[in-house]
Amino acid sequence: MKKTLLLLGATVLLSSATCCRKDNDIPEPAALPAACLLVPDQGMCNAAMVRYYFDPIEKKCKPFTWGGCNGVVPFVTLQECLDCGCER
């Protein structure tokens, strides 16, 4: 019984450490960190600041233009997006 629980625990731990799948399917939402699932929104202001988001279909970090207030900014820098671990 202890071996079964230990094996089950190890399996859960290893499967939760994986951020993205490498096949051609869209990654399951549970497999991605929350920030990788945020849909960017430029907001209502008129500034033009480059920010980043993760595109789960193309499986890569992409830039978008943020207006400077409100909206949704998943990642401030490209490095933050890359550190998400989903782009592989």
Q: What is the CATH number of the domain that holds 6?
A: 4.10.410.10
Report if residue 61 sits inside a domain: yes
Residue 74: which domain range? 2-83
88, part of any domain: no
Comparing 14 with 76, the larger pLDDT belongs to 76
Token pair 């499986």 is at which residue?
Answer: 59
- CA-CA distance, 30 to 19, in Å (whole number)? 9
Q: Is the pLDDT of residue 3 over 90?
A: no
Residue 31 lies in a domain: yes
- Kindly report the length of the chain: 88
Q: Residue 8 domain-assigned?
A: yes
pLDDT, tens digit (0-9, with 9 covering 90-100), for 35-54:
888 999 999 999 999 999 99
DSSP lists the bridge partners of residue 63 as 52
Rounded to an integer, what distance in angstroms lies between the CA atom of residue 80 and that of residue 49? 16
Residue 57 maps to a domain = yes
The reply to whether 56 falls in a domain is yes
Q: How many domains does the chain have?
A: 1
